[in-house]
Amino acid sequence: MIYDVYMIIKTIISLIAGVIIGLWLFILGVDFPILWGFVAFLLHFVPNVGQIIAAIPAVLLALIQLGLGPAALTAAGYLIVGFTLGNVVEPRLMGRQLGLSTLVVFLSLMVWGGLLGPIGVILCVPLTMTMKFAFESNPSTRWMGILLGSEKSIKSIPPVLKKKIHSDPGSS
Protein backbone atom coordinates (compact mmCIF):
# COMPACT_ATOMS: atom_id res chain seq x y z
CA MET A 1 0.00 0.00 0.00
CA ILE A 2 2.72 2.46 0.99
CA TYR A 3 4.80 1.54 -2.01
CA ASP A 4 1.73 2.04 -4.24
CA VAL A 5 1.16 5.56 -2.91
CA TYR A 6 4.87 6.28 -3.27
CA MET A 7 4.91 5.10 -6.89
CA ILE A 8 1.75 7.03 -7.77
CA ILE A 9 3.19 10.27 -6.38
CA LYS A 10 6.56 9.62 -8.03
CA THR A 11 4.89 8.90 -11.39
CA ILE A 12 2.75 12.05 -11.24
CA ILE A 13 5.75 14.23 -10.33
CA SER A 14 7.83 12.63 -13.09
CA LEU A 15 5.03 13.14 -15.60
CA ILE A 16 4.76 16.81 -14.65
CA ALA A 17 8.54 17.17 -15.05
CA GLY A 18 8.45 15.52 -18.47
CA VAL A 19 5.57 17.69 -19.72
CA ILE A 20 7.18 20.91 -18.48
CA ILE A 21 10.54 20.02 -20.01
CA GLY A 22 8.91 19.03 -23.29
CA LEU A 23 6.96 22.30 -23.45
CA TRP A 24 10.05 24.35 -22.52
CA LEU A 25 12.12 22.73 -25.27
CA PHE A 26 9.28 23.20 -27.76
CA ILE A 27 9.13 26.91 -26.89
CA LEU A 28 12.90 27.21 -27.28
CA GLY A 29 12.80 25.43 -30.65
CA VAL A 30 14.98 22.44 -29.71
CA ASP A 31 14.43 19.43 -31.97
CA PHE A 32 12.53 16.41 -30.60
CA PRO A 33 10.93 18.03 -27.53
CA ILE A 34 8.61 15.06 -27.00
CA LEU A 35 11.59 12.69 -26.87
CA TRP A 36 13.42 14.90 -24.36
CA GLY A 37 10.26 15.24 -22.27
CA PHE A 38 9.88 11.45 -22.24
CA VAL A 39 13.54 11.00 -21.25
CA ALA A 40 13.04 13.57 -18.47
CA PHE A 41 9.94 11.65 -17.31
CA LEU A 42 11.85 8.36 -17.15
CA LEU A 43 14.98 9.72 -15.50
CA HIS A 44 13.10 11.80 -12.95
CA PHE A 45 12.41 8.51 -11.16
CA VAL A 46 16.09 8.66 -10.16
CA PRO A 47 16.20 11.50 -7.61
CA ASN A 48 18.69 14.36 -7.99
CA VAL A 49 20.96 12.86 -10.68
CA GLY A 50 18.23 11.71 -13.07
CA GLN A 51 17.36 15.22 -14.25
CA ILE A 52 21.04 16.06 -14.74
CA ILE A 53 21.59 12.96 -16.87
CA ALA A 54 18.42 13.73 -18.86
CA ALA A 55 19.57 17.30 -19.48
CA ILE A 56 22.97 16.49 -21.00
CA PRO A 57 21.84 15.35 -24.49
CA ALA A 58 19.15 18.04 -24.76
CA VAL A 59 21.57 20.81 -23.76
CA LEU A 60 24.19 19.52 -26.21
CA LEU A 61 21.60 19.40 -28.99
CA ALA A 62 20.45 22.94 -28.17
CA LEU A 63 24.08 24.09 -28.21
CA ILE A 64 24.73 22.53 -31.63
CA GLN A 65 21.38 23.45 -33.14
CA LEU A 66 20.66 26.91 -31.68
CA GLY A 67 23.80 28.25 -30.01
CA LEU A 68 25.01 29.16 -26.55
CA GLY A 69 22.04 31.28 -25.36
CA PRO A 70 19.30 28.71 -25.99
CA ALA A 71 21.56 25.97 -24.61
CA ALA A 72 21.91 27.96 -21.38
CA LEU A 73 18.13 28.46 -21.27
CA THR A 74 17.67 24.72 -21.79
CA ALA A 75 20.02 23.95 -18.91
CA ALA A 76 18.29 26.54 -16.73
CA GLY A 77 14.92 24.96 -17.48
CA TYR A 78 16.15 21.53 -16.43
CA LEU A 79 17.72 22.92 -13.27
CA ILE A 80 14.63 24.87 -12.24
CA VAL A 81 12.25 21.98 -12.91
CA GLY A 82 14.53 19.43 -11.24
CA PHE A 83 15.16 21.56 -8.18
CA THR A 84 11.56 22.70 -7.73
CA LEU A 85 9.90 19.33 -8.24
CA GLY A 86 12.63 17.16 -6.71
CA ASN A 87 13.52 19.23 -3.67
CA VAL A 88 10.37 21.21 -2.86
CA VAL A 89 7.18 19.67 -4.25
CA GLU A 90 8.01 15.96 -4.06
CA PRO A 91 9.22 15.81 -0.42
CA ARG A 92 6.22 17.87 0.69
CA LEU A 93 3.75 15.58 -1.13
CA MET A 94 5.51 12.44 0.06
CA GLY A 95 5.44 13.69 3.62
CA ARG A 96 1.77 14.64 3.56
CA GLN A 97 0.54 11.49 1.85
CA LEU A 98 2.75 9.01 3.69
CA GLY A 99 2.77 10.59 7.16
CA LEU A 100 6.47 11.51 7.11
CA SER A 101 7.83 14.96 7.75
CA THR A 102 9.43 16.72 4.79
CA LEU A 103 12.76 16.84 6.61
CA VAL A 104 12.64 13.08 7.23
CA VAL A 105 11.98 12.41 3.54
CA PHE A 106 14.94 14.59 2.55
CA LEU A 107 17.27 13.09 5.20
CA SER A 108 16.19 9.54 4.33
CA LEU A 109 17.16 10.22 0.73
CA MET A 110 20.68 11.09 1.86
CA VAL A 111 21.00 8.29 4.44
CA TRP A 112 19.63 5.43 2.33
CA GLY A 113 21.45 6.75 -0.74
CA GLY A 114 24.70 6.77 1.21
CA LEU A 115 24.13 3.27 2.57
CA LEU A 116 22.74 1.51 -0.49
CA GLY A 117 23.68 3.78 -3.39
CA PRO A 118 21.21 4.27 -6.25
CA ILE A 119 18.89 1.51 -5.01
CA GLY A 120 18.72 3.24 -1.63
CA VAL A 121 17.83 6.52 -3.32
CA ILE A 122 14.93 4.88 -5.12
CA LEU A 123 13.73 2.91 -2.07
CA CYS A 124 14.36 5.56 0.61
CA VAL A 125 10.70 6.40 1.32
CA PRO A 126 9.42 2.79 1.49
CA LEU A 127 12.35 1.81 3.72
CA THR A 128 11.78 4.77 6.04
CA MET A 129 8.05 4.03 6.21
CA THR A 130 8.84 0.43 7.15
CA MET A 131 11.10 1.67 9.95
CA LYS A 132 8.42 4.13 11.11
CA PHE A 133 5.80 1.37 11.34
CA ALA A 134 8.23 -0.95 13.13
CA PHE A 135 9.08 1.76 15.66
CA GLU A 136 5.42 2.64 16.24
CA SER A 137 4.46 -0.99 16.90
CA ASN A 138 6.79 -1.37 19.90
CA PRO A 139 6.00 0.73 23.00
CA SER A 140 9.67 1.22 23.85
CA THR A 141 10.50 2.62 20.39
CA ARG A 142 7.22 4.40 19.70
CA TRP A 143 8.91 7.76 20.36
CA MET A 144 11.20 7.18 17.35
CA GLY A 145 8.20 6.45 15.14
CA ILE A 146 6.59 9.67 16.32
CA LEU A 147 9.76 11.61 15.50
CA LEU A 148 9.70 10.24 11.95
CA GLY A 149 6.07 11.22 11.48
CA SER A 150 4.54 14.43 10.28
CA GLU A 151 2.43 16.78 12.36
CA LYS A 152 -0.65 15.11 10.85
CA SER A 153 0.44 11.68 12.11
CA ILE A 154 1.13 13.04 15.60
CA LYS A 155 -2.35 14.55 15.76
CA SER A 156 -3.84 11.18 14.79
CA ILE A 157 -2.51 9.46 17.93
CA PRO A 158 -5.43 8.77 20.28
CA PRO A 159 -5.33 10.79 23.54
CA VAL A 160 -5.12 7.57 25.59
CA LEU A 161 -1.86 6.62 23.87
CA LYS A 162 -0.50 10.16 24.20
CA LYS A 163 -1.00 9.94 27.99
CA LYS A 164 0.69 6.54 28.07
CA ILE A 165 3.62 7.74 25.94
CA HIS A 166 4.17 10.81 28.09
CA SER A 167 3.69 9.04 31.43
CA ASP A 168 5.96 5.99 31.01
CA PRO A 169 7.55 5.34 27.61
CA GLY A 170 9.23 2.11 28.79
CA SER A 171 6.12 0.30 29.98
CA SER A 172 3.90 -1.80 27.76
Chosen domain end from 58, 82, 98: 98
Reported as a pLDDT band with limits 50, 70 and 90, residue 163 is low
Domain boundary residue, one of 79, 98, 117: 98
Write out the chain in H/E/C secondary structure: CHHHHHHHHHHHHHHHHHHHHHHHHHHHCCCCHHHHHHHHHHHCCCCCHHHHHHHHHHHHHHHHHHCHHHHHHHHHHHHHHHHHHHHHHHHHHHHHHHCECHHHHHHHHHHHHHHHCHHHHHHHHHHHHHHHHHHHHCCCCHHHHHHHECHHHHHCCCHHHHHHHHHCCCCC
pLDDT at 7: 82
Contacts of residue 58, Cβ cutoff 8 Å, sequence gap at least 6:
21, 25, 30, 36, 39, 74, 78
Q: Between residues 104 and 59, which one has the greater pLDDT?
A: 59
- Give yes or no: residues 12 and 86 share one domain: yes
Q: Residue 147's domain spans which residues? A: 100-172
User: Do 33 and 15 meet the contact criterion of CB atoms below 8 Å apart?
Assistant: no
Q: What number is the average pLDDT over the span 57-73? A: 97
Mean pLDDT across the stretch 24-34? 97
Residue 169 has pLDDT above 60, yes or no: no
Measured distance CA(81)–CA(99) in Å, rounded: 25
Q: What is the mean pLDDT of residues 44-70?
A: 91
Split into its structural domains, the chain has a count of 2
6 and 62 in one domain? Answer: yes
| CA-to-CA dists, residue 167 to 23, 149, 162, 163, 171, angstroms | 57, 20, 8, 6, 9
Q: Is the pTM of this model over 0.75?
A: no
77 or 144: which leads in pLDDT:
77
